[in-house]
Amino acid sequence: MTGVKEIVSDIKNGKFYPVYLLTGDETYYIDKIADFIEENVLSEEEKGFNQTIMYGRDVEISQIIDAAKRYPMMSDRQVVIVKEAQDLARTIDQLTDYVKNPMPSTLLVLCYKHKKLDKRKAIYKAIRKDGYVLESNKLYENQVPDWIFQVLKSHQYKIENKAVLMLLEFLGTDLGKIWNELEKLMIVLPQGSTITAKDIEENIGVSKDYNIFELRKAIGDRDVLKANKIVNYFGMNQKTHHITMTIAALNSFYTQLLIYHGLQDKSKNNVARMLKVNPFFADDYIKAGKNIPMRKVSQNIGYLREADVKSKGVGAANLPAIDILKELVFKMMH
């Protein structure tokens, strides 16, 4: 993320802005930059008198202004970090006058998480003009694998494709949660290791054999025994493998397969680009496309829609989720 690298580079080179607005629905980068500023702008000796951490739910705007207007003690600058600044949404515009005339010796950092600060607000416009705005956006699902590869590469680790898919199924696209689990793995595995599906299973608790990707593969390979084993496992573990999520994941896969069949250029790079998936996983779609003709793909999408309706109680009152899944998988494989 360009903005993150720019802030880090600037601070390392002694370039500071009077006000930083870190805003957006991806909290990982907001937390990382706030932590970086907290740890690196001041020396340990300077932090005691010159670093203030506040929380939006606990302070008034006047208190933030008072803290920001203080002169540093035995230091060239002071740092004021306001975490959870979104809790000040109704009053944050009251900071506008300060932003327009900030203390040059203060770094004021506003962590406005889970949503973006309204660009129409005067405070946003003032920070954009005289400070630094970092907009931290959620990554799309197809972007997360590359993020995982790059993060691990920077720490001298590698990871198997299947292990990446397991992380995505278990944690979704929440970078903070993914990072927390990667940190655990990097503690138990020596630097230079390749993280495997077995490592994910043993250290994070995600089954390498009973997951949506193995179910998808079993259906495509027409492996009835394996598919039914996975369905039974899902039925007994609805908290982590809820039927709604299972149907949604299968529907996404078959919808992409439908797009695949419509492509004239079925080269790996074009498949990745058109399906908006990481190139590492394009081979999965190419193989599935060869095994499952377009007619069957369309038919299976229809079955998925029927199962989705049934899972919501329409036309299948009190029918257990496992029975709906078993019927779905049977239809998809025959």
Nearest Cα to Cα of residue 266 among 294, 293, 285, 243: 285
Q: Rg of the chain's alpha carbons, rounded to an integer?
A: 25
Q: Which domains does the chain have, with CATH numbers?
A: 10-14+16-135 (3.40.50.300), 141-204 (1.10.8.60), 212-333 (1.20.272.10)
Percent of the chain that is helix, strand, coil (3-state, to 5)? 60, 10, 30
Cα distance between residue 282 and residue 265, in whole Å: 13
DSSP label at residue 106 = E
Check residue 184 and give its pLDDT: 93
Q: Find the distance separating the first CA and the last CA of the chain, reported in whole Å.
A: 46
Check residue 316 and give its pLDDT: 66
Give pTM, 2 decimals.
0.79
Q: Please give the structure tokens belonging to residue 8.
A: 């880090």
Check residue 52 and give its pLDDT: 97
Check residue 57 and give its pLDDT: 95
The secondary structure of 91-158 as a DSSP string is TGGGGHHHHHS--TTEEEEEEEESBPPPTTSHHHHHHHHHSEEEE-PPPPGGGHHHHHHHHHHHTT-E
Each residue's pLDDT tens digit in the chain (334 positions)? 678 999 999 999 999 999 999 999 999 999 999 999 999 999 999 999 999 999 999 999 999 999 999 999 999 999 999 999 999 999 999 999 999 999 999 999 999 999 999 999 999 999 999 899 999 999 888 889 989 999 999 999 999 988 998 898 888 889 999 999 999 999 999 999 999 999 999 998 888 899 988 898 888 888 889 999 999 999 888 888 889 989 998 999 899 999 999 999 999 999 988 988 878 778 888 888 988 899 999 999 999 999 999 988 887 667 888 899 999 999 998 8
Tokens 């009190």 correspond to 318
Check residue 240 and give its pLDDT: 82
Check residue 142 and give its pLDDT: 81
Alpha-helical regions (H) of 172-293: 175-188, 197-204, 212-220, 224-236, 243-261, 268-275, 282-291
DSSP label at residue 293 = -
Check residue 1 and give its pLDDT: 66
- Provide the CB-side half-sphere exposure for 9 (13 A, CA): 6
The residues, any chain, with a CB within 8 Å of residue 37's CB and separated by 6 or more, are 11, 20, 79, 81, 107, 109
Q: Are 52 and 81 in contact (CB under 8 A)?
A: yes
Question: To the nearest 10°, the Cα dihedral for 59, 61, 63, 66?
Answer: 160
CB atoms within 10 A of CB 243: 21
Cα distance between residue 64 and residue 66, in whole Å: 5
Check residue 317 and give its pLDDT: 66
Check residue 107 and give its pLDDT: 98
